[in-house]
């Protein structure tokens, strides 16, 4: 069968760099860090006392009813606010739209961690004397799938509705699933993306116990430093990004604004380790190869790679190796950058925010930088002849961009966007 073409017609963002797409993108281009001291809880006893938090977020600012917001974990509030922006941006006439053909597919790595902590914490404090006492919304606030349900409920979308959960690859997998549903003719539009809000004591404490987080408490804004010799771990972040994917002819028929075309998606597994990437980047190379083949593009067609680039020792090396091995001499011609150096690591929502950055790079012909680079890792196998777009954005024609995400368990996902042409 002939596969349908899929385009991006709407964007929405609640991120550490701003509560809109415009503000987030401008800060990405300007090389602004979203890191700062943790305010969600007292982190003074933790090894890591900073993160990339969302700032000045109020559900009511996005039209979310106050009573309904109390039934949602923070991650779900972020998801709904981002989706509201994305659906408004895509310009769909909700009165005339066939809502049976509009779905919601989101990526969530953890879900309602804050809700779980609060409810179980209350139980441990009072359970021995008062008996079990849990809130009636404990389960629907906590479960990771509820954000997709809440979006569909708000808008009456009856199409495919679910979440994907593959750790830090979750929202890239969500985009891949949405993409495939549309090109197979199962839906006309899918509201996709990712959401996460895990900056809570158990989240920070758990990642600290794994020695995964940076402990640069004296310089939070300089802590996320992918591909620099002094990197010491990733910076936790939170937020939500929405991408509205739409079948091309459906978008054209209603005169929709098109940001870019989604050209392909790839998936693979490292099959190597619970948390570490394959040291030779085998899974990373395979997922990029699979995405290129799905998009029917050659390595030379890619001008920008938004890398996973978490600022961990092994991860950065293995991804750089994979790019060099797959792209060969073209690895020196394309731009590479890790926007995690500015946004931090949004965990299950990482793929969504980095896909948005890739779409906007294609749209605007600007590659956002990898900030905080001050020292090459001379003793390791990172080839600095590749252009990592260190410290300053670069203007160039971006015909096509790919975005990599790798999750604990060896889950790899890659999505590809290209300039739209009729």
Report the relative pairing of strands 161-164 and 102-107 from DSSP bridges. Answer: parallel
- Of 338, 393, 375, the closest CA to residue 228 belongs to 375
Rounded to the nearest 5 degrees, what angle is found at the Cα of 289, between the Cα atoms of 160 and 191? 20
User: Residue 421 burial by CB count (10 A; 0-12/13-18/19+): exposed, middle or buried?
Assistant: exposed
* Residue in 168, 242, 250, 411 annotated catalytic: 168
| Phi, psi (degrees; rounded to nearest 5) at 220 | -55, -40
Q: Are 249 and 4 in contact (CB under 8 A)?
A: yes
- To the query of whether residue 345 is one of the catalytic residues in this protein, the response is yes
413 contacts 351 by C-beta, under 8 angstroms = yes
* Distance of alpha carbon 292 from alpha carbon 416, whole angstroms: 8
Neighbouring CB atoms inside 10 A of 5's CB total: 17
- The SS3 of residue 125 is helix
And the tokens for 281?
């980047």
Give the DSSP per-residue string, 90-107.
Answer: HT--TTTS-GGGEEEEEE
| The one catalytic residue among 250, 278, 308, 411 | 308
Catalytic residue flag (residue 308): yes
Catalytic residue of the set 250, 345, 373, 411: 345
**What is the side-by-side strand order in the sheet with 335-337?**
161-164, 102-107, 189-196, 239-247, 6-14, 260-269, 411-418, 400-407, 304-306, 335-337
The C-alpha angle with vertex 386 and arms to 400 and 268, in degrees rounded to 5, equals 55
Residues 6+ apart with CB under 8 A from 369: 31, 337, 341, 342, 389, 390, 391, 392, 393, 394
Q: Which residues are catalytic?
A: 168, 308, 345
């Amino acid at each position: 069968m002939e596969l349908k073409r899929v385009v991006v017609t709407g964007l929405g963002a609640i991120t550490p760099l701003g509560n809109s797409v415009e503000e987030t993108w401008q800060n990405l281009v300007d090389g602004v860090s979203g890191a700062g001291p943790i305010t969600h809880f007292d982190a003074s006893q933790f090894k890591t006392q900073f993160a990339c938090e969302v700032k000045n977020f109020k559900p009511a600012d996005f039209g979310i009813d106050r009573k309904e917001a109390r039934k949602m974990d923070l991650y779900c509030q972020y998801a709904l606010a981002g989706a509201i922006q994305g659906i408004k941006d895509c310009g769909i006439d909700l009165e005339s739209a066939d809502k049976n053909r509009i779905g919601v597919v989101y990526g969530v790595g953890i879900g309602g961690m804050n809700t779980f902590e609060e409810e179980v914490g209350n139980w441990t404090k009072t359970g021995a004397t008062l008996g079990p006492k849990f809130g009636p919304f404990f389960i629907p606030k906590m479960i990771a799938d509820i954000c997709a349900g809440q979006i569909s409920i708000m808008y009456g979308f009856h199409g495919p509705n679910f979440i994907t959960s593959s750790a830090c690859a979750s929202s890239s997998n969500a985009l891949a699933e949405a993409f495939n549903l549309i090109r197979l003719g199962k839906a006309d539009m899918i509201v996709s993306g990712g959401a996460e809000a895990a900056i809570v004591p158990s989240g920070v404490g758990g990642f600290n116990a794994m020695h995964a987080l940076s402990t640069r408490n004296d310089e939070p804004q300089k802590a996320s430093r992918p591909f620099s010799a002094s990197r010491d771990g990733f910076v936790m972040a939170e937020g939500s990004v929405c991408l509205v994917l739409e079948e091309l002819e459906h978008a054209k028929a209603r005169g929709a604004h098109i940001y870019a075309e989604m050209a392909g998606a790839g998936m693979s597994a490292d099959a190597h380790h619970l948390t570490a990437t394959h040291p030779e980047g085998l899974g990373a190379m395979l997922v990029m190869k699979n995405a290129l083949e799905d998009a029917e593009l050659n390595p030379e067609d890619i001008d920008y790679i938004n890398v996973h680039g978490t600022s961990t020792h092994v991860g950065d090396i293995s991804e750089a190796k994979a790019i060099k091995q797959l792209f060969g001499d073209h690895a020196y011609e394309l731009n590479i950058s890790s926007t995690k150096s500015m946004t931090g690591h949004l965990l299950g929502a990482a793929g969504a925010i980095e896909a948005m950055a890739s779409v906007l790079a294609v749209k605007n012909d600007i590659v956002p930088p990898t900030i905080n680079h001050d020292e090459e890792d001379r003793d390791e196998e990172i080839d600095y002849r590749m252009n990592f777009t260190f410290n300053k954005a670069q203007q160039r024609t971006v015909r096509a961009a790919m975005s990599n995400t790798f999750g604990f368990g060896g889950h790899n996902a890659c999505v590809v966007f290209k300039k739209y042409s009729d």
